[in-house]
Structure 1
Amino acid sequence: MTHPLGSGGLVPYYGPMTDSIQPGVGSPPAAPPSTGDDLQAAPQASPLRRFGALLMAVWTIAMERHVSLIAAGVAFFGMFALFPAMAAIIAVFGLLADPVVVVQQLELMEEIIPTETYLLIVEQTGRLLAAQTGTLGFASGVSLILALWAARAGVAGLMEGLNAIANRPARNGFKDILVAFVLTLTLVGLAIMAMAAVVIAPIVMRFAHISPDTAWLLEVIRWLVALFVLYAALSLLYRFGPNQKDARLQWITVGAATAVVLWIVASATLSFYLGNFGNYNEVYGSIGAVIGMLLWLYLTAYLVLLGAALNLLVHGNIDGQH
């Protein structure tokens, strides 16, 4: 069986398009047998056994589809896409309200991502804020389009990874670019809505005559909004990222929920490790913060792809059949 590369050469495609992850279908000849049948175990099987079979099936897909290698590629493209995406968010949100809210919302990440990575993001965001004009003229409009186009590269890389997880071929060139660009616009729009919610919440509280002393409530709202946006973004990516037809958008998915929870835990763990045991600055010097960011982006991409694999196993095949 030949193994042509996916669009752009980022990920391998393992065979003809299949309707679901099944043993011996659409997998490399040398790959270990899938454990998908274990998920269809008899009803009398213990929950622990079924859970173990599920974990084994996710791990098998991760090995068969080279998720670790794909996540590294996604992290590389994500590195180049992160700040253009931030520039686009600031440019659009700056037309509606004070873009400083972007920095305030980023403060939520201070405790759960590596310190050097957080400081690098905040520093660059500050520079983008300083360059913000507050108006959308021709020059700034062109800059916005270019920023969105650069951010599209990160989404396109993730789409290739999702196609590999689902064992789907890439879309044709123009359609792939169009879907990636529309998804980028949608994700930027979600981020802007999250920022707007942070601005609107205090106004609503005043109209509802809620005491201003309840600052904790605003903090809860900020966290809920951030988690909802992250969850919604993953749900959209899992539905529209892979090359699939007639699939339904599922807002309640085990994969997206698991990816969000694991991302928070793993990011906080990585932050703790680098802050207490890591020696990136000693080894890499001035680029230690960049190395830390790449590691964090790799971890993020890996968990997003694992969430996609979990969705395939729990919610049925990629075409939305159950």
Structure 2
Amino acid sequence: MATKEAPETSTAKAGSAPAPDDPRKPDSPTDVDKPSWKYIARKTLREFTADQCPDLAAGLTYYAIFSMFPALLALVSLLGIFGQAEKTTAALLEIVQGIAPGQAVEMIREPIQELTTSPAAGFTLVIGLLTALWSASGYVTAFGRAMNRIYEIDEGRGFVKLRGTMLAVTLISLIIVALLAAMLVISGPVAEAVGNVMGLGGAFLTVWNIAKWPAIVALVIVVIAILYYATPNVRQPKIRWMSLGSLIALLIFVLASVGFGFYVGNFSNYNKTYGAIGGVIVMLLWLWILNMSLLFGAEFDAEMERGRQLQAGIEAEDTLQLPPRDTKKSDKLQEKEEEDIRLGRELREKYSGKANGHEGKDQDGSDRHNRDADRRNGHGGATAREGNGNSR
């Protein structure tokens, strides 16, 4: 089976890729032609397999496990600002309970409740939050590596720039989630107070209880879009293009989670099969589904960009043509690789010369050995006598 070619270096694309918002590209999804949409759909499915996204999702699940509790600690610390950490985390767990398998929710419920009731929850906002952010950013960094594979480019950002970007993405995402959680609890009394001021009373609260859910979905899409936009080493087009893949990822995740929860609740016997760790297995599978959904949405965004480029006449059938954010690391790695190639060539030529010398010596020794054997067997004398006879 043919393997997928390695992505081009960011150094190469820096000099050849057009601007991310090149005017030749379609300006909105409605400008994308029907043949392009068919190509995008087919290519998304193929690239999802070619990029080994199920394996990437498994790796991201590993990082998610180690980043989950630092992220929860940071989230609880942020919620402590509103003084509603216990209520807001309970509201979040209720939402998750509606789409996730019950065993997966129970695995994280107790640690979260311990964090919210801990007297150190507010104190950790200064020191613990920074430590938790650094640990939680490990998942975001791993997600960025997966995004680089999807966008067919290597990592060109230096350590400081890369870690700074991932920490910023982690912090922004946690702040949005904290605001979302606080909105679920605090918005009720606030909406009721606003309704009383406006003279609408409970009617305004009823409207808000319906309208807040589209707002929550929009915030979740924003978080996913930020992951898609900031983590790979490519200068992305306008972020509105990212929202398409984000919406697809969210829909797939919700549907897959509901289906998986139904399966776990009605047909599976994870507790009987795995005993005490049955809940752990369910949670790992659920996180794997989450990461699969995120990577599929990212593949769609990447192939959407490829379709835009092809429709604009840009040669993107072999590799996506997006300029890198930075090439510093890629330049250094390329220099080291060229140095390794040079040293390897010198080593080969050195030993090739010795091998040729030994071959010549072996050939001379073989000739002398044959002549000595002929003389011992009398062939040499007979040959000489025959030569003398012929001369006479």
TM-score range, shorter-chain basis? 0.7 to 0.9
1:83 corresponds in structure 2 to 69
Which one-letter code corresponds to 2:60 in the other structure? V
1:112 corresponds in structure 2 to 99
Which one-letter code corresponds to 2:129 in the other structure? L
Bigger CA drift: 244-253 or 195-204?
244-253
Partner deviation per Cα, 1:176-209 (whole Å, 9 max, x = no partner)? 2221111111101111221232213431332223
What's the CA shift for 1:229?
2.1
Q: TM-score, normalised by structure 1?
A: 0.78
Looking at structure 2, the residues matched to 289 and 216 of structure 1 have their Cα atoms a distance apart, in angstroms, of 37
Matches of residues 1-322 of structure 1 in structure 2 within 5 Å? 14-17=7-10, 52-100=38-86, 101-133=88-120, 135-136=122-123, 141-170=126-155, 171-198=157-184, 199-209=186-196, 210-212=200-202, 217=207, 219-245=209-235, 247-250=237-240, 253-315=243-305, 316=308, 319=322
Which one-letter code corresponds to 1:102 in the other structure? T
Contact 2:91–2:181 (CA under 8 A) maintained in structure 1: no
Contact 1:62–1:306 (CA under 8 A) maintained in structure 2: yes
Q: TM-score, normalised by structure 2?
A: 0.65
- Other structure's SS at 1:96 match: coil
Looking at structure 2, the residues matched to 115 and 308 of structure 1 have their Cα atoms a distance apart, in angstroms, of 28
- Other structure's SS at 1:123 match: helix
Contact 2:53–2:292 (CA under 8 A) maintained in structure 1: yes
**Aligned residues with identical type, % of pairs:** 22
Contact 1:166–1:318 (CA under 8 A) maintained in structure 2: no
| Pair 282,219 (structure 1): closer, same or farther in 2 beyond 3 Å | farther
- Other structure's SS at 1:253 match: helix
- Considering fraction of residues, name the structure with more helix: 2
Contact 1:90–1:132 (CA under 8 A) maintained in structure 2: no
What's the CA shift for 1:92?
1.7
| Pair 226,239 (structure 1): closer, same or farther in 2 beyond 3 Å | same
The runs of 5 or more residues in structure 2 that have no matched partner are: 14-31, 309-319, 324-392
Contact 1:84–1:150 (CA under 8 A) maintained in structure 2: yes
| Pair 251,62 (structure 1): closer, same or farther in 2 beyond 3 Å | closer
What's the CA shift for 1:79?
1.3
Contact 2:102–2:261 (CA under 8 A) maintained in structure 1: yes
Contact 1:247–1:318 (CA under 8 A) maintained in structure 2: no
| Pair 280,307 (structure 1): closer, same or farther in 2 beyond 3 Å | same
The runs of 5 or more residues in structure 1 that have no matched partner are: 4-11, 20-41
Looking at structure 2, the residues matched to 121 and 220 of structure 1 have their Cα atoms a distance apart, in angstroms, of 28
Looking at structure 2, the residues matched to 79 and 168 of structure 1 have their Cα atoms a distance apart, in angstroms, of 27
Q: How many residues align?
A: 282
